[in-house]
């Protein structure tokens, strides 16, 4: 199993501990990661896809060509990267005209889009290529008697015919089973499948409403579950649910909503006994006590 690690922009710049966790945990599970030297922004939906479609597809094709040269599928954690690349690939494969346009743009760079590699999300690879059983056997510290909730990345669910790998899209189960493989109990709640609201222009354009939207989810978690931590597998969900708890606490003048938020590969890395300082060191809501409880250190 060999994959091209597509880093995107947020993971390597803002949360490099997530990158570290992915780079340590995946090879431990038999998934070799190769670097995609020279890869750029996917590009994110709020950038070139909102300004010039041909330019946008050319940038995606640039990224694909790097993986194609190495003969590996791209693997990514970021939901936006995943969806942007999946949609771009689908548009390029559907239209010969668009393929011609981007290859004309790529030609002077010495690159070419051929459409020979796919884009995979980490949840897909962890569940379908590696499997919960292998993950269960790989960990040193199981999360026994600990309740979790999972945040499904919406970019891996919709539109299901282009991005989907879980089934049915309205009732996904793979992510939950991956968290259960670590020994935790996963609880469900009314707003489980609701988007975190952190991507795109909502937070920037309408901060008070975007905050309130996230608060509804957080209040539902507190009211309907006994969750002790949140597991995400998208850089935006990870950062947003962390930040919005802080905003909610500031608003309420207390620390009532302080659930540690982990990317899946981060909590997996902690359970595998990798150094928390490397794999889970950057957050707003402290994860230290929770990690101590798991590792008993």
Partner 1 sequence: MIDLTNINTKLWQEIMDNCGDIRKCFNCNTCVAGCPAAEGTPPLFIRNLVRKVLLGLEDELLDDETPWLCVTCSACEEMCPMGVHPFEVCLAIRRWQSKNDETYIPAATTEIFETGHTQAVGQAKDKRKEVGLEEVPPTIIKFPELLKKFQEMLRNTDIVRENDYMFKD
Residues at the contact surface with partner 1, assessed by CB under 8 A? 7, 9-10, 12-14, 16-17, 19-20, 23, 35-41, 43-55, 58-59, 62, 80, 83, 105-106, 108-110, 154-155, 157-160, 163, 169, 194-195, 197-202, 205-206, 208-210, 212-213, 275, 277-279, 281-282
Instruction: Please say whether the beta carbons of 196 and 241 come within 8 A.
Output: yes
Query: Following CA atoms 6, 10, 16, 19 in sequence, which dihedral angle do they give, to the nearest 10 degrees?
Result: -30
Q: Which is nearer to partner 1, 44 or 117 (CB)?
A: 44
Q: Which is nearer to partner 1, 54 or 286 (CB)?
A: 54
> CB 90: neighbour CB atoms within 10 A?
15
CA dihedral 108, 113, 114, 115 (to 10 degrees): 180
CA 98 from centroid of its chain's CA atoms: 28
Rounded least distance, CB 43 to partner 1, Å: 6
Nearer to partner 1, 60 or 184 (CB): 60
CB-nearer residue toward partner 1: 86 or 120: 86
Least distance CB 3 / partner 1 (angstroms) = 15
- Between residues 62 and 262, which has the closer beta carbon with respect to partner 1? 62
Helix axes 79-94, 53-70, angle to 10 degrees: 100
Neighbouring residues of 205: CB distance < 8 A, sequence distance ≥ 6: none
Torsion sign over Cα 202, 203, 206, 209: positive
């Amino acid at each position: 199993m060999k994959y091209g690690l597509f880093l995107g922009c947020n993971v390597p710049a803002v949360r490099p501990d997530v990158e570290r966790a992915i780079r340590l945990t995946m090879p431990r599970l038999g998934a070799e990661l190769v670097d995609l030297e020279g890869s750029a922004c996917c590009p994110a939906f709020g950038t070139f896809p909102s300004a010039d479609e041909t330019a946008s597809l050319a940038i995606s094709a640039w990224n694909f060509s790097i993986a194609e040269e190495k003969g590996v599928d791209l693997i990514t954690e970021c939901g936006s990267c995943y969806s942007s690349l999946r949609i771009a690939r689908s548009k390029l494969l559907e239209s010969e005209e668009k393929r011609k346009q981007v290859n004309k743009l790529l030609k002077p760079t010495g690159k070419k889009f051929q459409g020979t590699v796919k884009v995979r999300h980490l949840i897909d690879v962890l569940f379908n290529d590696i499997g919960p059983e292998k993950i269960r056997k790989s960990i040193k510290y199981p999360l026994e008697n600990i309740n979790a909730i999972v945040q499904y990345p919406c970019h891996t669910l919709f539109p299901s015919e282009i991005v989907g790998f879980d089934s049915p899209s309205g009732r996904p189960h793979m992510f939950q089973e991956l968290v259960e493989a670590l020994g935790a109990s996963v609880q469900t709640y009314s707003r489980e499948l609701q988007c975190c609201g952190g991507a795109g222009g909502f937070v920037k354009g309408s901060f008070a409403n975007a905050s309130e939207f996230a608060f509804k989810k957080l209040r539902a978690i507190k009211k309907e579950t006994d969750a002790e931590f949140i597991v995400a597998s998208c850089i935006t969900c990870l950062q947003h649910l962390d930040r919005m708890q802080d905003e909610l606490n500031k608003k309420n003048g207390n620390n009532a909503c302080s659930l540690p938020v982990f990317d899946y590969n981060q909590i997996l890395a902690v359970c595998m006994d990798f150094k928390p300082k490397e794999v889970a060191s950057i957050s707003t809501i402290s994860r230290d006590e929770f990690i101590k409880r798991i590792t008993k250190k």
